[in-house]
Structure 1
């Protein structure tokens, strides 16, 4: 069925996208005329009144009006072009009064960009409106000329559409050949019209997204706020995990050990052999408690990572994996401690996933530096099917990496193999 589908050039004049873009251009001119007229009038009045205090509220009102038209333009772009541009933060004064609001509006770069859009979009709308409307009208009019050519001899008293005429000579499109050629010329215009319209609308897309959305600084602040929330949640989760491990593991074992030693002390005088057996059992519990505390300390931050770096630390992690792991670390130096710690725990968690879920026979760990990025890659020959959206393991790992401007990519088709690549910033 796909082979019977007409080419894109033939489908374009009849697609909904083309007519939505055409509607966007048609509605753009009256809105642009209105916004440009108001902007010029209010800004001129405000600039002229700056010699008095009245110029400040007039200018602030002009910028507010432009922001209102910007909201309309974003809604129009969203509805007709499918372009979703996030609304910028409103201008808010520190104290909440009228003077504070006017100051915040006048100092807002977003407000001035909305004013710039009103000035720039007006000449563009004046150009794009007649171009696309003329192509549409001439294209469909000439293409359908055979259907309405009869109107001229019946109601206009002439043979057909007049191409040329003076006092002595006139040329009409009335023969079958001329009518057919006219229709073919119209067909060319009809086929060209959608692509010209899309080219014109592409400029509108750039203006809307570049001038009517939040600034890059605001986007970066929002991203950092989100990353900070992820870091705080991750730190809180790590603290809860440490508390749970201490409470359920080493602490419970040490409490039981204290009770056993108390009983051994009571029996030491009347039953030395039983007391010795209890002390020997307590000695084993002490070893287990120490091992649990070492594992807990290694989970917080391993000493080998601090002392010897990623190569030795990852080799130690690989040695504890249930499958053979080859580790290759090629770094010219050591990154910042925070980045090094994230890299260690990323590889550690990925190797835990290999041990628990992959059913792999072998795994490989590669670490290298590329420009100003630290690259990590963990591969295995297991069953595959790892999906970050399916559970909290890989998803949480991706959030932690994203919090430091990193990227986690998972390639794990069903049946394997699995390749997980992490990219972290190199911060010396």
Structure 2
């Protein structure tokens, strides 16, 4: 991996940390209004109007807190899962309305969301938003020292900047002006220094309330297993159809043609040996093509280098054939289980294909290592960035595929690059490595 790109990204995130926290603080404004509206609906909950309005008010609150979860994950690095228990299937009429009302009011996540809306405007002001206010206060100090102090006193005003009084004599007092600049600089420096730590604190606060409880985690786990099982079955069925189609259209058709050619050769051996030799040559060429197609098919199912040499050497083979200049770093003390190894290999292959097609990159770095029971793979390119998991992109397909193994995928791809795609799959390494890394 290119250390300079990683370092550049780290410093870019550090420099933008105060503004990210400040924007999180601004979300406290709509939070107050949603909090007031939800509290009003709760006050009416003993009436028919409350029963009618609560599902919609809950949905509004969930939409806002889901936005918080996404932004906290993107701006603080603390990933927060959605904690909500599944809603009952929709039923028309009063019975369906009551079921939905009971389900949402009995979901612990609803009350945790409400507690978040009540407390967050205060908490965010002293955590994530505090560095942004420090930087803004420091910039205001520069303005006061350079121009604002004279402007204030010109119109008969009087103010304080920190412990420094801005009055009639301020603009002529060099000591006070210099002190203002020094204090303003300290505020800015402190703002930038504490911003990453304050964002981390705010992220943990968000996860403590907006994350799933044990009950909802169990329900979500059951739903995830159901979905991943269904996706695995669908993927297996699609792969079988692809194999059948490739066999039918390729090797099978050639083998049928070879059988017909051999039958014709039997009849021509005595009558027209020259024609028979021509057909034999064509049949031999067809057999070579059929063998090549069968090898390609087997390689697409499970590459021989992956079976023989393991994930590290298989990824190196991918890098050698890749159109971009690829560097591979492998730190694996053994081999994952074959299904995990195969999923990781094809995920890396898909990411490299996407990088070649869409990134506009010239170089790509691949890092494979095993840490704390997780196979961690990082693919970095120096392209134009802008990659997302939205829609039906290839990255979303990779996420679904590794989700079968409880794997997760994260994408950090600011516009302008670089793009960093990270995969983590829980696994154990079962045997010594067979090749040096």
Coarse TM-score class (shorter-chain normalised):
0.5 to 0.7
The aligned counterpart of 2:35 is: 21
CA contact (8 A) 2:85 2:216 kept: no
State the match for 2:92 in structure 1.
none
Report the TM-score when normalising by structure 2.
Answer: 0.53
1:421–1:283: structure 2 CA closer, same or farther, 3 Å change rule? same
1:60-209, aligned counterparts within 5 Å?
76-79=57-60, 82=64, 86=84, 114=106
**Distance across 2 between alignment mates of 1:407 and 1:252:** 41
When the two chains are superposed, the root-mean-square deviation of aligned CA atoms in Å is 4.7
Query: Quick check: which has more Rg, 1 or 2?
Result: 1
Residues 115 and 290 of structure 1, relative CA distance in 2, 3 Å threshold: closer
The residue aligned with 2:261 is 260
Cα distance change on mapping 1:78 and 1:395 into 2, 3 Å: closer
Does structure 1 residue 247 correspond to structure 2 residue 253?
no
Structure 1 length as normaliser, TM-score?
Answer: 0.54
Cα distance in structure 1, aligned partners of 2:386 and 2:27: 40
Alpha-carbon spacing, 1:18–1:221, altered in 2? closer, same or farther (3 Å): same
Give the 3 Å change call, closer, same or farther, for CA 351–291 of structure 1 in structure 2.
farther
Alpha-carbon distance in 2 for matches of 1:412, 1:79: 30
Other-structure match for 2:400: 399
1:260-279 equivalences in 2 (<5 Å): 260-279=261-280
Q: Is the 8 A contact 1:373 1:425 kept in 2?
A: yes
Secondary structure of the 1:215 match is helix
Question: Partner of 1:311 in structure 2?
Answer: 312
1:324 deviates by 4.4
**Structure 2 counterpart SS, 1:243:** helix
Shift of 1:289: 1.0
Question: How far apart, in 1, do the equivalents of 2:392 and 2:61 lie?
Answer: 37
Count, aligned residues: 287
Query: How far apart are 1:209 and its partner, in Å?
Result: 8.8
Determine the structure 1 residue equivalent to 2:95.
Answer: none
Alpha-carbon distance in 1 for matches of 2:209, 2:320 = 56
C-alpha separation in 1, matches of 2:428 and 2:299: 23
- 2:237 maps to what in 1? 236
Looking at structure 1, the residues matched to 219 and 51 of structure 2 have their Cα atoms a distance apart, in angstroms, of 17
* Structure 1: runs of 5+ lacking an equivalent: 1-6, 36-68, 91-109, 129-202
Structure with higher RCO (Cα < 8 A, 6+ apart): 2
Unpaired runs of 5+ residues, structure 2, are 1-21, 67-82, 89-101, 119-204, 430-437
Q: Distance in 1 between matches of 2:358 and 2:34?
A: 49
Shift of 1:408: 2.3
Asked if 1:378 is matched to 2:379, the reply is yes
Partner secondary structure for residue 409 of structure 2? strand
Give 1:221 shift.
0.5
